[in-house]
Amino acid sequence: MARTSGMPVGSDVRERLRAAQRAETEAIAAVQKALGAEADARARLEAIILKQRAELSKASHAVQAAQAAVVVTSGLERAAALLDISSQILRSAVKETAASTSTQARRNQTLAPTPAPTIAPTDT
């Protein structure tokens, strides 16, 4: 088996080399496909986590608003006794609710439609 240009001379040797290269190519393709599937799964997971965090935040704000409503109705100390939580937590809930309410009010004012400017007719 003499070599001339670095290529194996025998057909059986060349065929084994081609088979090894095909196997290597298929293995690399399988790795690439698995990496793509992993990236897709990670993106789906992150989307789910983001959605659940938003829902948790919304629920947390609802709890704070409900706690603040009890404070408005019954007073801070009575609400703390009724809800069996500290007055500091309720005070925080009232502050958070007030802050989010004022932020929402400002947002509504900012997003209010404004009339389009009018152009006065000119004498020409």
Average pLDDT (52-62) is: 96
Residue 7 or 21, more confident: 21
Average pLDDT (51-74) is: 95
Give CA–CA dist 36/44, Å, rounded: 12
pLDDT of residue 100: 82
* Residue 33, in any domain of the structure: yes
* Residue 121, in any domain of the structure: no
Range of the domain at 60: 16-107
Of the CA atoms within 13 Å of residue 96, those in its CB half-sphere come to 17
Tell me: the pLDDT tens digits for 66-78? 999 999 999 999 9
pLDDT of residue 106: 74
Tell me: the pLDDT tens digits for 102-124? 777 777 776 556 666 667 666 75
* Residue 35, in any domain of the structure: yes
Tell me: the pLDDT tens digits for 12-41? 999 999 999 999 999 999 999 999 999 999
Give CA–CA dist 67/91, Å, rounded: 9
Our count of domains for the chain comes to 1
Q: Which of 102, 5, 95 is nearest to 87 (CA)?
A: 95
* Residue 93, in any domain of the structure: yes
